[in-house]
Structure 1
């Protein structure tokens, strides 16, 4: 191979090594010749001989070239399988060290950006602090309150507070996860609040706990888990708009919870209550606990409702009940 064999070689052949283009080109030319002098290299690269000498010294620092024997003028390329591999390993180590500094860079970035972010998102830590802030948000509600009711809970619902909100014109809409109403009598409590003016719906599962107050605030957990240790308070922003949109999407998919019937209609209203629980994904055992009857009784009622609606599955029963306006 002649000294000019790499003159038209495609550029970037050694880009992965982090070498400047001139040094890459010089290495390829030294590699193509048994020996190379600074004068020869200068001619091939169209640079001065002094510049060529500096390039060779730089390549030597990478281990890619070395002086040929005892001749201080002639240079030879090191074997690529050894020299390039060693340089690649060194490059990988540098990249790993740089990756390890990303966290430090992010801390510096946040120190500049955080003052702006603090205006939009605040972290509230500790169950007592979360409960106090939640009470403050409810007290400040003017127009509407949107809720995803999902375990874990840090306090029982304040029915009196909710009634006072409704009384002053705040519209309350709540979607309850099945796990939130599993305790005996809980569904009856929800129906009482519905009777006072809350609009309630049920779903088998919700993505997170969530409360949206007007178009000003939202509160949701920092992380999912069995304990609520920290919460995010989101102020008016595109994030708040997105959380409101998420609520609306789940609201339209959920099953309506009817209010408590008057005593004279309690027995007649059993079917609506049963259909509500069925459509929300409750099991027979869960329905039995809610209604205070045996599982066998629930199974019998389910068969009767399915026969009356002409449904072959529980899901079909829910769909047909919704179409018939029974939910």
Structure 2
């Protein structure tokens, strides 16, 4: 989601090629990328990926993207729309445009890009309630695209336990495609929202929906680079480049928790990145971990964390993590 904003096309291609050579075969994008979202740059991430994919065997890449949820501000995503919604017309237009930008005939995983209150918010705001598109109608639209061979599987992103259960139940009752994944934020400092109830809902014995964990480093915070606000790395990063963006990770309690996790990593002879990514990777409900990087050095460190960190993390490390978790339960909640 930084390709086209923080990263040039050459940088994007270099990082994609390096990742591919290291065995990474899943790419996750969205029609609204790069971030922060704006009409002038919308779709650049897809274009960069699409041009890179032209030189790669399509069947070796698992391509995931997202159709945007309700928005009154992002109407530029559609040709003629007063509001963006997840209805049949919007879904079909989104997919057609994504296929064109990505230079492909099909999408392996199409996810619904919801905007439920998880970005640092805690309470449900009833004033924001609005009529929704029935779950069955959404699934029927996806079924048509699957039948046409344009989409293989479907999933959700930024979703709640209620949404997962309703999608799975609607699919079961009406013989419609079932969601196979949920892409939600999950890290050492963002745990409760998934672990409290989604983990039970998504369990293989229940809805059987795998977690694609995004922001496993808390937007880079858990690398420890923001602890020194004056460092060159911090100044060039998202939290400082885009005022207000990911504000939840700048909260004082989140910084305090991060400092403690950095100390914990050093105590056990690990880098902060190895600790954070090793924790997410080792969770029994994690199907895949989505990493992001804006430099080649960051990318190499992230990939190295998966190949060189203990797997799973030693019991003593996990015990120490739980001690901190009891003190800092989701410190990124505002």
TM range (shorter): under 0.3
Q: When the two structures are superposed, what TM-score results if normalisation uses the length of structure 1? A: 0.22
Question: If each structure's helix is expressed as a fraction of its own residues, which one has the higher value?
Answer: 1
TM-score, normalisation: structure 2: 0.21
Larger Rg: 1 or 2? 1
